[in-house]
Amino acid sequence: MPPISILIKPSSSKCNLRCKYCFYNSLSEKRDTKDYGFMNEETITNLVKNILEYADDHCVFAFQGGEPTLIGLDFYRKVIELQKRYNHKGVRIENTIQTNGILIDEEWAKFFYENKFLIGVSLDGSKDINDGSRLDVNEKSTFNRVMNSIKLLDKYKVNYNILCVVSSYVARHIGKVYSFYKRNGFKFLQFMPCLDENEESKFYSLDNKKYGKFLKNLFDLWYEDFVKGERIDIRFFSNLVQMAAGYRSETCGMSGKCHCYFVVEGDGSIYPCDFYVTDNWLLGNVNNEKFKDIIISEKAEKFVYDSIYVDDKCRACDYFNLCRGGCRRWREPFEDVRPKLNKLCPAFKEFFKYADERIYELSLVLKR
C-alpha cells in the first residue's frame, strides 16, 4: 500500500486571521454548516485508531484549518499519546501542521521539536507585501508576530517551510519576495496561485499573463542560485525536475489525476480533497465508518474517475509530460460531465516554452 496522507481540520474553519483571498473561508460559507467546531477527544481517538488500522508502512497526519493551533497544544499532546497507543503495526508516522504562526510560543516550538513536527508557515514576503492581504481579525498587521514565531522555530531547530499565496501583487513583486526569503535563510518554499474564490479575492487573483510572467521571473531567480550552488527548494520547480528525470510528482495536483487522500473536518466528516470539503462530496464520518470502506465507496471512486479525462488538445501538447493537465480544481466547471482545459493553461505553456530546456538539464543532475 502506498504512503497514506490524512489532512485533518481540528479547528474546522475557525481562524484568527482574515486573509483577503482565503479559499477555505469562501468554501465553508457555501456549506449548510460553516463551522463544525473543535474536534473532540472521541473523534480524534477514532480517527487515529482508524488511520493506523488502515495504514501499512507510512502515514502522514497533516493538520490544517482554518487555523489548527486554535484548538490548543493539549490536543496535539493527545494526538501523540494516541499515536503511540494504537500504532500496533509499527507504522512510520509523520506529523505536519500548516499554520499562520500567530500563536506559536516557546511551549509550542519546544513541543514541535520534541515530536519532530514539520511546520508550514504562511508568509507572503516582506511586511508591506504580507500585510497587504494577511491581516488579523482586527485588521491589524501579522508580519512581526509571524517572524517572531519563526525565530522560535529556529531557536528550537524545528523543521519548517514557507508557504506563499501568489496574489497578483506578489506576482508583480516576486523579485522582492524572493530576496526577502533569501535574506532570512528560508530554504524551503511553496508558492500557491490565488484563483477567484469570492468577490474580494478577484482583486488578488491571477490571470494567465501575470502568472506566466511570475513563473518565468521566479524560475530565473531560482535557476541562477541553483547553478551557483545556492540551492533553494521551491516545491513546484523541484517536482518538475523530478518528473523530467522520470520520477513521480510528490504533489497530487501535478500527477494528472486525483486520488482520495482524505480530509477530516472537526466533527469527523470525511471528504476526498481540501478543495472539495463541500456537502455534495461528503464521503462519511470517522466516528462510524472505516477508511478501508470509504476508499472503495461509489462516491470516492467517482471523484477519482471524473478527473481522469484528458482533453485531446492537452494530450497533444509538447509539455504534457510536465504539466499533466493540472489540478482538477483548475479545470472546473466541467463541460459535458468532463473537466475542461486548465484555466491557467496559457501561463503554463508560456512558462514551459521558456524553461523546459533548463528543467531537463537539471534532471540530468538528479539522474546521476
Tell me which residues are annotated as active site. 274
Do the bridges between strand 188-193 and strand 92-99 make them parallel or antiparallel, or are there none, so unpaired? unpaired
Name the nearest CA neighbour of 97 among 133, 71, 129, 127. 71
HEC states along the chain? Answer: CCCEEEEECCCCCCCCECCCCCHHHHHHCCCCCCCCCCCCHHHHHHHHHHHHHHCCCEEEEEECCCCHHHHCHHHHHHHHHHHHHHCCCCCEEEEEEEECCCCCCHHHHHHHHHCCCEEEEECCCCHHHHCCCCEECCCCECHHHHHHHHHHHHHCCCCEEEEEEECHHHHHCHHHHHHHHHHCCCCEEEEEECCCCCCCHHHCCCCHHHHHHHHHHHHHHHHHHHHCCCCCEEHHHHHHHHHHCCCCCCCHHHCCCCCCCCEECCCCEEECCHHHCCHHHCCEECCCCCHHHHCCCHHHHHHHHHCCCCCHHHHCCCCHHHHCCCCHHHHCCCECCECCCCCCHHHHHHHHHHHHHHHHHHHHHHHC
Cα-Cα-Cα-Cα torsion 218, 223, 228, 232, nearest 10 degrees, comes to 60
Q: Is the peptide bond before 2 cis (omega within 30 degrees of 0)?
A: no
Cα-Cα-Cα-Cα torsion 199, 204, 209, 215, nearest 10 degrees, comes to -140
- Number of neighbouring beta carbons within 10 Å of residue 73: 16
